[in-house]
Structure 1
Amino acid sequence: MASKAAPCCRLVFCLLICAVVLRPGLGWYTVNSAYGDTIIMPCRLDVPQNLMFGKWKYENPDGSPVFIAFRSSTKKNVQYDDVPEYKDRLSLSENYTLSITNARISDEKRFVCMLVTEDDVFEAPTVVKVFKQPSKPEIVSKAPFLETEQLRQLGDCISKDSYPYGNITWYRNGRELQHREGVVNISFNKQMDPATQLYTMTSSLEYKATKADIQMPFTCSVAYYGPSGQNTVYSEQAVFDIYYPTEQVTIQVLPPKTAIKEGDNITLKCLGNGNPPPAEFLFYLPGHPEGIRSSNAYTLTDVRRNATGDYKCSLIDKRSMIASTAITVHYLDLSLNPSGEVTKQVGDALPVSCTVSSSRNASVVWMKDNTRLRSSPSFSSLRYQDAGNYVCETALQEVEGLKKRESLTLVVEGKPQIKMTKKTDPSGLSKTITCHVEGFPKPAIQWTITGTGSVINQTEESPYVNGKYSSKIIISPEENVTLTCTAENQLERTVNSLNVSASEYFISGIKKNAVDENREKVNDQAKLIVGIVVGLLLAALVAGAVYWFYVKKSKTASKHVNKDLGNLEENKKLEENNHKTEA
């Protein structure tokens, strides 16, 4: 019995020694694990052939051991100690590798793997390190603006849930900011959550801005340690509005124009180059030494030429900071004398003047009935063709839209004037009588004929141009006639006459008929005498024939006597016509 009890006593004795005193074993071994991952700790001991069992424990800060897992080499069973923080989190493999799921910061301890034989206890310590990557840093509590020459709180860079805590660095335009008293002040603070043992890091930056910081990006970063070494996470960029005082004032004229003319509306806009820009200014108008307080815009409506001058604006609290601009209001005046509708008599004189007054040299153009004239009109003796619509137009070429025009409607009146002309056709059969009329308003023409005659054609009129037109008729009178042309308008009635002789055709026809009749009469008388003589000589021989011939000739002679009587009356009329005046 004594021999069997001795091994058991030795085993218990060894366990008690191992539980109290650590036997020197292998060197330190560290396992790095990420927060929430599974911690895997190999035993790092060669399993002896006479192994009885293996155990895992961890050490409290005071050095006392806490056993957490047991595995028998003979029975192949695994037992886990009743340790609340490791409940359902442990796993011990056949090669005595211990796994702890859902790694926590509290798992960061010194664990020991123990292999026990009948004769000895072997130990291999493992140090567990747990790392938690912090959240991406964020710039919060950002200043609404930074002001030059003023040390202001720019913002806080915050990063949460880190283990171990990390370091925060500030950057301006990618370059690291270093602490400079009164210019760059950086403070750092860290807080640990007691429940999770995770850190929240906060860094505050006070910064004195300059105009060079306009549109410059600021960032921050947190450098931390993880299972694989050191890493850095950067925040998003933050750009700050930089306030700076106004150093210069400028004045503008809106809308921008090359020239301003009377009647325009203009706006004076005053600007300061500060940020924020000044909201109010003092505006100084020509002739008004006291400034007018207004917003950055001052509007002038329907400006006149007396608005020409220097305009200024200044800061309200610093009147020496002032800007000015010169404004010229262009004008154009046109006076036409006479103008409107003017009625004059033909032959009258009419002086016309177009006077221009302007802020610059202006061009003058004369138009008559939409046709450009080479020079201004001058009327020393008005003619009908001078009548029309005259326009005097002027413009300033440098000023868009600045034009003026005045018009004169000239009416030239005149009493009817008549001139009559006659033209005989080469054949002598007809004559063309033309009545030339001049006058305004257009005279009406009326023809009258005294005596007898025939109108071959209807009257024919020419176009009425420049107060003149004509009317003509073509006649072939059988006797001398008088043609009368009457022209009448609202001013007067004028009459003119022209004597026209009978056509040559009729005169020539009358003379020829008279000669032929005389010749026939003489021949008949000669024949009669010869007949009588021959009859007497041959009376005896040819009494019967002569008697017959005599009777025949007597009848012929009677016929000629009747004709002679008619010719005498015609000759008498012809002589009367010859005594009349020929045209």
Structure 2
Amino acid sequence: PLALGLYTVNAVYGDTITMPCRLEVPDGLMFGKWKYEMPNGSPVFIAFRSSTKKNVQYDDVPDYKDRLSLSENYTLSIKNARISDEKRFVCMLVTEDDVSEEPTIVKVFKQPSQPEILHQADFLETEKLQMLGECVARDSYPEGNVTWYKNGRVLQPVEEVVVINLQKTVNKSSGLFTMTSSLQYMPTKEDANAKFSCIVTYYGPSGQKTIQSEPVVFDVHYPTEKVTIQVLPQSSTIKEGDNITLKCSGNGNPPPQEFLFYIPGETEGIRSSDTYSMTDVRRNATGEYKCSLTDKSMMDSTTITVHYLDLQLTPSGEVTKQIGEALPVSCTISSSRNATVFWIKDNTRMQTSPSFSSLQYQDAGNYICATTLQEVEGLQKRKTLKLIVEGKPQIKMTKKTNTNKMSKTIVCHVEGFPKPAVQWTVTGSGSIINKAKETKYVNGKFSSKIVIAPEENVTLTCIAENQLERTVTSLNVSAISIPEYDEPEDRNDDNSEKVNDQAKLIVGIVVGLLLAALVAGVVYWLYVKKSKAASKHVDKDLGNIEENKKLEENNHKSET
């Protein structure tokens, strides 16, 4: 490379500088020398080599002590290059008749350290010009330049917004430069996550190069511009008994730590942190809630609806009634929105609500009136009615001759609650073939039966007794050898009810037909009576006409 038309050697700071003599060795060479020139032009000899004796001598120059090496071809090497080595060196070859010289320019380069952003601001505030930091790059030669970047883009100076000041200092002993660039900056909210960095540009042996610092992100402080209130937990519905928390937040940085909370019906705000908790809320907590900054600015509001569900069952608990009595039952609800009501009896869902105009044993049981509030999870109520239907024992006895004609079955059909205890007694001779057998007690009814083979007429007595009354019924049974009318045994209560219904239907039809026949007879009798009266009236009129004609004829004869 050439510099100002002269041969130039570029060296790296700390490396070895190698300078060839660049002269052809002439005939009759006596020796060669290297010198450098002082700024005033005066020479300083530093190395000598004889071509005949092959010995090398180095001049006593402190800056180059133990750093020089002169080869046989007169190439000069300087170890541990320094900034002070930037000089004009001259190679001299001397003969008896002539002295030849060839100058070489030495340039030394030093890469700076990676730049660092020092004295960083703890945080940045919007609308305020402040020192962001200093970018420092040390030990450069020649001096470099520093450029600031934000998010990869160059920061150009803008008055009162971006102010950059670059200072360069040199170490007198080493000759190396340190570049310090300070940045004053007025941030905006958008700079919250901005990456700031700096790049130092310097020159090396091969040309211009750059080194970049590590990026830095600053906490940007800005005032709150909006306040937001929200309800926690974030549920679509709130019901009585829930615990809720109001949370107020501002969009500033740092966010506000205290707020004023306004409760429905209260004019003064309650000073609190960013949360205000309410436990076991009731329906009267429904209303509009607000929060604001402590200076009562920037307010936000939300409406809370506390859903409720009340259920009233009348009567409830354990209720004891007598069979045949009426029992009105009502289940009423009061709720914040539409609710569904359903009934359950003995773990089975009922199709309709219970209504008791005349209580029967099968009406007894455990009733539950339950309700749920639609779209409000977990809001449900239920109340129970334990209905007990009591009745005095009722007895009906039947007898039947068994198919083997050797015994008879006597059945005692019993109704009542609490379940009556049944006892049998027999009068007359005869033997009880087996002990009494009872059917299952269902809906207040059961039966007890015995099988006997009486040798003579006997009387069987069935005694049913519970806490309400003792009932006794007797039945005469003929000896097994005497035929008699057998009463059929009731198969079940349902069949009995169906037979009774059919009998009622037949009786109704017969009564209807009789009434129709009676009405028809009455109508016919009236019709006949009227017809006879009309014929008598006609005969009377005809008689009167005949009599008149005879009178007229008699009068006519008299006149003649």
Tell me by how many angstroms 1:506 deviates. 9.6
Gaps of 5+ in 1: 1-25, 508-583
Contact 2:337 2:374 in 1 (8 A): no
Contact 1:428 1:505 in 2 (8 A): no
Tell me by how many angstroms 1:374 deviates. 1.0
Contact 1:282 1:313 in 2 (8 A): yes
Amino acid at match of 1:283: F
> Percent of aligned pairs with the same residue?
73
Alignment partners' CA distance in 1, 2:322 and 2:5: 138
Q: Which of 40, 47, 50 lines up with 1:62 in the alignment?
A: 40
**What TM-score comes out, normalization by structure 1 length?**
0.81
Compare CA radii of gyration and give the structure with the larger one: 1
Task: Tell whether 2:210 aligns with 1:232.
Answer: yes
Aligned to 1:343: 320
Aligned to 2:414: 437
Alignment partners' CA distance in 1, 2:73 and 2:297: 90
Alignment partners' CA distance in 2, 1:438 and 1:353: 29
Tell me by how many angstroms 1:86 deviates. 0.9
Q: Which of 460, 470, 479 lines up with 1:483 in the alignment?
A: 460
Aligned to 2:478: 501
Alignment partners' CA distance in 1, 2:402 and 2:101: 160
Contact 1:268 1:297 in 2 (8 A): yes
Alignment partners' CA distance in 2, 1:36 and 1:490: 121
Which of 213-222 and 380-389 deviates more? 213-222
Aligned to 1:405: 382
Alignment partners' CA distance in 2, 1:390 and 1:27: 117
Tell me by how many angstroms 1:323 deviates. 0.4
Amino acid at match of 1:365: F
Contact 2:344 2:350 in 1 (8 A): yes
Aligned to 2:118: 140
Alignment partners' CA distance in 2, 1:96 and 1:43: 6
1:64-103 to structure 2, matched below 5 A, reads: 64-103=42-81
Amino acid at match of 2:192: I
Aligned to 1:289: 267
Task: Tell whether 2:436 aligns with 1:459.
Answer: yes
Aligned to 2:248: 270
**What secondary structure, in the 3-state scheme, does the structure 1 residue paired with 2:190 have?**
helix
User: How large is the RMSD of aligned CA atoms in angstroms?
Assistant: 1.5
Aligned to 1:184: 162
Aligned length in residues: 481
Alignment partners' CA distance in 1, 2:373 and 2:203: 80
Q: Which of 172, 175, 189 lines up with 2:153 in the alignment?
A: 175
Tell me by how many angstroms 1:427 deviates. 4.9
Alignment partners' CA distance in 2, 1:117 and 1:27: 27
Q: Which of 309, 312, 336 lines up with 1:332 in the alignment?
A: 309
Task: Tell whether 2:341 aligns with 1:364.
Answer: yes
Amino acid at match of 1:96: Y
Amino acid at match of 1:144: D
Task: Tell whether 2:384 aligns with 1:417.
Answer: no
Deviations 1:70-94 (A, max 9, x none): 0011111100011112111100011
Tell me by how many angstroms 1:495 deviates. 0.4
Amino acid at match of 1:500: V
Aligned to 1:112: 90
Alignment partners' CA distance in 1, 2:402 and 2:70: 151
**What secondary structure, in the 3-state scheme, does the structure 2 residue paired with 1:29 have?**
strand
Alignment partners' CA distance in 1, 2:350 and 2:291: 50
Tell me by how many angstroms 1:206 deviates. 0.9
Q: Which of 228, 231, 234 lines up with 1:253 in the alignment?
A: 231
**What secondary structure, in the 3-state scheme, does the structure 1 residue paired with 2:173 have?**
coil
Aligned to 1:157: 135
Alignment partners' CA distance in 1, 2:377 and 2:405: 71
Task: Tell whether 2:175 aligns with 1:210.
Answer: no
Alignment partners' CA distance in 2, 1:257 and 1:55: 95
Gaps of 5+ in 2: 485-560
Contact 1:140 1:156 in 2 (8 A): yes
Alignment partners' CA distance in 2, 1:28 and 1:441: 133
Aligned to 1:570: none
**What secondary structure, in the 3-state scheme, does the structure 1 residue paired with 2:442 have?**
coil
Tell me by how many angstroms 1:62 deviates. 2.3
Aligned to 1:382: 359
Alignment partners' CA distance in 1, 2:302 and 2:433: 86
Runs of 4+ in 1 over 6 A off after TM superposition: none
Deviations 1:377-426 (A, max 9, x none): 11111111111111111111211111111111111111111111111234
Contact 2:464 2:471 in 1 (8 A): yes
Alignment partners' CA distance in 1, 2:408 and 2:48: 159
Tell me by how many angstroms 1:429 deviates. 2.9
Which of 421-430 and 264-273 deviates more? 421-430
